[in-house]
Amino acid sequence: MEATERSQLRRLPDRGSHESEVIHKILDDGFLAHVGFQVQGQPFVTPTLYGRDGDTLYLHGSAASRMLRELDTGMPACVTVTLVDGLVLARSAFNHSMNYRSVMAFGTAKKIADAAEKTRALHVVSVHVLKGRWKDVRGPTEQELKATAVLRFAIEEASAKVRQGPPLDNEEDYSLPVWAGVLPLKLVSQEPIPDPRMVEGVEEPEYVRNRSDRA
């Protein structure tokens, strides 16, 4: 993916990449993004779920959402996704860090008006968050589609940054009698909690029971 001044990696560029394959893999391993935009000089950052289709991200929410309303004007926006893989514990306070994978994407968004295309975009988001769920649930009604805004965010350029491995201490600190290493962290699915109002006899779907950990 071609980079310009706004997406150029500056600090520790050896940890970064502009390769589409690297960027897409991180986006596919996550599902929560933070969207940065500015309204009348005031910056806002809003968390939201997303789905990816090629170099397009689909964002959705209430039709009354300020974020979606403002992005639809074509203003420049920044979407970030970060996956934390571990705390890096060094021998010095200064050299503590974390292992992570992150993407910073720049582009503009446009609201989807066509009902069929909007439904397809919502399907992309649903499959991205939990594969298999869409086929089991009732699809959105016409009224629900009207109450939902879906934006197509076109990734114009993006960069990825990854930190892996053990702590990097000052050479003289390696002899200190201090435990150092990595405390791995992982997003783990726990035991599902059934809705108390669920119809009797409905079994837990396999995609819920055996959901693989995303990150």
Domain-wise residue ranges, the chain: 13-84+99-167
Residue type, 106: F
pLDDT range class, residue 194, cuts 50, 70, 90 = very high
pTM over 0.95: no
Q: Are 16 and 159 in contact (CB under 8 A)?
A: yes
State residue 215's pLDDT score.
46
Q: Are 125 and 113 in contact (CB under 8 A)?
A: no
- Residue 169: pLDDT above 80? yes
Say which CATH architecture domain 13-84+99-167 belongs to. Answer: Roll (2.30)
Token readout for 28 is 């596919």
